[in-house]
Amino acid sequence: MIRTIVIPGLIVLVAIFGAVTLLATSPQLEPSRPEPVATTVRVLTVTPESVRLTVHSQGTVAPNTESELVSEVAGRVVWKSPALVNGGSFEAGDELLRIEDRDYRSTLERARAALTRAEAEQQHSLFEYERLQSLESRQLASRSAMENAQRAWRVAEAALLDARASVEQAERDLARTRLVAPFKGLVRRQAVDIGQFVSRGNAVATLYASAEAEVRLPIADRQLAFLDIPMGTLGELPPGQQPAVTLRADYAGQQLTWRGRIVRTEAAIDTASRMVHVVARVTNEDQTVPLTVGLFVTAEIEGLVADEIVRLPRIALRDDNQVLVVDAENRLRFRAVTPLRLHQDQVYIQGGLANGERVCVSPVQTVVDGMIVNPIDDDRAVAG
């Protein structure tokens, strides 16, 4: 009886007492809100500075001066300079081509003979006119005879002038049988050879000057605002308003650099690309390596100096021209800014940020205005 009833009952009572005791002495749990984990972001401290704006373009080098060497007389080519070949170089005044001149020498001799005859006729007619003028004053010759002598003298004067002009023309034609280089340069194309007959006005070669070279550079119209070129300026720029330009190219396994100036702008705007073309000029005498015609180059044009500009990585600029600023309480705040330009991987800000403010440059996907962050200074310098 005791085993079946009393002992199990005691066990049940002890278990109930222990459970009640545990419940009475257990700690009370109070609800609590978990602290949010701050997102770690990289920040840059705003430091306004003066920035030299640049405009980039590219183009092909062309000669500053290019002309056709044209024969002014007709004849057979009897001599050609070794420099008169495609790519040949020459100096100003070098003889490049010679045309057979025997006919022109004969013409010159005939013209000189005619001049001698005309001088003799003029001297004789002048003597006769003066003689009859003296006789007429003493009434020893008629008025009509004196007038005839005067007319003969004037005709002889005209014949003398004509003979002198013929001699000068013959001398010029003889000199034109020797074609000389009008400037220092190179031969782009040769068109004649020894033994070939050329007519007056025929082009015998295409020459271009090597002293200077030009590059025609397309510029977007919105980028013209970054250049120090007065509005409405067309054609040649005054020397004091010619922006500097640096040209670069990879040639013969080397990267070469040339310095020049923007010397003029073109009036027309390309209707297809909406580009304005400016022309850069390089003086080869000032360069270590001459700028070669036909070379493809990239150009960096110096523009205006903009003050109080903040340079940030492009990733810092968000939609609607906004950036994220970290305030004194390490909270993110949206800030509207005024971008000046996007250049490569940077953005130039000209308004909306103050010196010393911290701008978030991390790619935060979901942002809530006022969210707490853990800012870390970005030690990477912004590239210039």
- In tens, the pLDDT along 40-54 reads 889 999 999 999 999
Summarised one tens digit per residue, pLDDT across range 298-339 is 999 999 899 999 999 998 998 889 999 999 899 999 999 999
pLDDT at 199: 95
User: pLDDT-derived band of residue 384, with 50, 70 and 90 as boundaries?
Assistant: very low
Q: What is the pLDDT of residue 365?
A: 81
Q: How far is CA 150 from CA 127, 153, 157, 216, 359, in A?
A: 10, 5, 11, 66, 103
Q: How far is CA 232 from CA 215, 216, 272, 279, in A?
A: 22, 19, 21, 16
Residue 44 neighbours by CB distance under 10 Å = 21
Which has more confidence, 300 or 227? Answer: 300
Q: What is the pTM assigned to this prediction?
A: 0.72
pLDDT at 8 over 70: no
Cα separation of 25 and 17, whole Å? 12
Looking at every residue in the chain, the average pLDDT score rounds to 87
Percentage, residues of the chain above pLDDT 70: 88
Q: What is the pLDDT of residues 167-208, one digit of tens each?
A: 999 999 999 999 999 999 999 999 999 999 999 999 999 999
- Residue 382 above 50 pLDDT? no
Please report which confidence band the pLDDT of residue 231 belongs to, taking 50, 70 and 90 as the band edges.
low
**What local confidence, expressed as pLDDT, does residue 286 receive?**
86
Domains and CATH numbers, the chain: 40-51+307-377 (2.40.420.20), 55-63+210-306 (2.40.30.170), 73-99+178-209 (2.40.50.100), 102-175 (1.10.287)
Residue 383 has pLDDT above 60, yes or no: no
- pLDDT band at residue 381 under the 50/70/90 scheme: very low
